[in-house]
Each structure stands twice: as C-alpha cells, then as structure tokens.
Amino acid sequence: MAQAFASKTRLILNMIKFEHTIFALPFALIALLLAARTAPQGLTAHTVFYVVLAMVGARSAAMAFNRLVDAEIDKANPRTAARHIPAGLLSRTQVGLFLVLALSLFEFAAFQLNRLCFLLSPLALIAILGYSYTKRFTALCHLVLGFAIGIAPIGAWLAVRGTFDAVPLLLGAVVMLWIGGFDIIYALQDYENDVASPLHSIPKALGKANALLVSRAMHFVMLVLLVVIGKLSGMHGVYFAGVAVVAGLIVYEQSLVKPNDLRRVDMAFFTLNGWVSMSLLAFVTLDLLVR
C-alpha cells in the first residue's frame, strides 16, 4: 500500500512538473524582500513559510486542473498524448483528489498570512484555474497565463504589507510579460495541431515568425519594467547588474528558437527560465545585503 501510494505521488509530481515551481517562486521572494524593507515587523519566518506554501498549493492546483480539463485536448495532440491522464497512468479521480488537496493547502496558507490575502484568495483561484479554458476562445491565453502567475509577487507583497503599491504591481506585470513571452515560444511546438483544431494561440493567429516578434517585444518591455522597479525601489548597482544578466539570458533564450527550428525549445523554456528568476533573486538579495 505504501509503495503504491509513493508511486502515485511520484507520478502526480511528475505530471504537474513540480520542479518548475522555481519559475515564479523567486519573484514572490523578491517581493517579500522589497516589501520587508519598510515594513514595521520586517520579514518573519512565518510569512516566508506560508508564502512558499501558498505558491506550491496554487501552482500545483493550477497544473492539476489544467491536466483535468485538457485531458481530451491532450489526447488528440501527438505531443501531449503521453501525458498521465490520456495515457492512463493516473485517473481523473486521483488527479481530482490531488486538486482538492492543493486548493486546501493554498487556502490554508492564505488564511495564515493575513485577512486580506484570505479574502482575495478566491479571485486568485479564478485566475489560475480559469486560464485553462482561455485557449478555447482567445489567442491572448499566453498573457492570461502570465497574469495568473504574476499574482504571486503581488500576493507576497500583501502578505508583508497588507496594502497595494506600484512595485508589486509592476513585478506582477514583469512576470506576466516574461511568462507570456516564453509561453508563446512553447506554443510554437503545437502550431500545426492548433491550426487544425478550434484552439487559439498567438502562433496560430499571427504565424510563427510574427509570434516570435511578439514574444521578443514582451520580453523587452519586461526588462524595461525591471529597470523602473529598481529606480522606484532605490536599488543600487548590484541590482542593475542583475537586470543586465537577466537581459543576457533572455537574449540567449530568444536566440535558441527560430520559426523553423524548434529543437532547443525545451532548453529555452525549462533551463534558462529557471536561471532568469533565480539570478534576479540572487542579485536583489546581494544588493540589499551590501548596503
């Protein structure tokens, strides 16, 4: 029994790509660090713990829900037909139970943070779960995904300060443009399938080459916003050196993918994006430490 449970747990963690939580988590931690600078109570272990818990719960719920509602779509797409539900590795009931657990974890963490985070948590869930339906009716689904994940730094800021501010909203916009831009790159793999189906995407709407231009424009604006955030937050040279490193990673990521050469999409999507967020967190932390 224990072995079977462990096996199913590994399958579920693999299904939701648990390790990719690292994409957005550093931005939530950046928001925590910046918010704590002027917060009377500073940054407590309690807040950090429950922000991380909320992030894990929210992302796990979003991925499980996506796999549930997209099971038939995944089955019809050769690239995704081997995913866990279409392939019969996990049942809808098993994934549904995990979804309930992840949602409960998120709500519990939000409750532990503060009243505002708990009251706003249903709106966050509408965004992160609702994304899964958007590809059925709009090519802007990539931006909706980015918006949903961009809630993370805003929520982290609210966990510390309990009020909205320009900096977390801009951080949310950074994440929206960053995630949306590389989701367009990822969607290039499904171009032929999307064209032959009723699904929507920017590559389908604009073509592969123009979709890449849109992705690059989004990433450029993202970098501009990072500079603005640094100015508003009173950051120093170390932070801006980090923005330069992030810019280099973004340029390299974009260079890996061509309209007719998608062989390195996985490297651009999975490997480099982890480096983008972790590098920025490292430079923000260092900037605050050397003051």
The string of pLDDT tens digits covering residues 127-177 is 999 999 999 999 999 999 999 999 999 999 999 999 999 999 999 999 999
Are the beta carbons of 99 and 165 closer than 8 angstroms?
Answer: no
CATH of domain 2-289: 1.10.357.140
Are the beta carbons of 31 and 157 closer than 8 angstroms?
Answer: yes
- As given in the structure block, the two tokens for residue 125 are 């869930």
Annotated domain spans of the chain: 2-289
- As given in the structure block, the two tokens for residue 243 are 């923005």
pLDDT digits (tens, 9 = 90+) for 33-85: 999 987 777 789 999 999 999 999 999 999 999 999 999 999 999 888 888 89
SS3 label, residue 261: strand
Q: What pLDDT is attached to residue 211? A: 96
pLDDT digits (tens, 9 = 90+) for 204-259: 999 999 999 999 999 999 999 999 999 999 999 999 999 999 999 999 989 888 87
- In terms of average pLDDT, the best of 22-26, 111-115, 255-259 is 111-115
Are the beta carbons of 246 and 279 closer than 8 angstroms?
Answer: yes
Distance CA 200, CA 150 (A): 22
| 165 torsion bin: left (phi>0), alpha (psi -120 to 50), beta (else) | beta
Are the beta carbons of 222 and 181 closer than 8 angstroms?
Answer: yes
Instruction: Tell which residue, 46, 39, 32, has the closest CA to residue 113.
Output: 46
What backbone phi and psi angles, to 5 degrees, belong to 43? -115, 120
Are the beta carbons of 193 and 79 closer than 8 angstroms?
Answer: yes
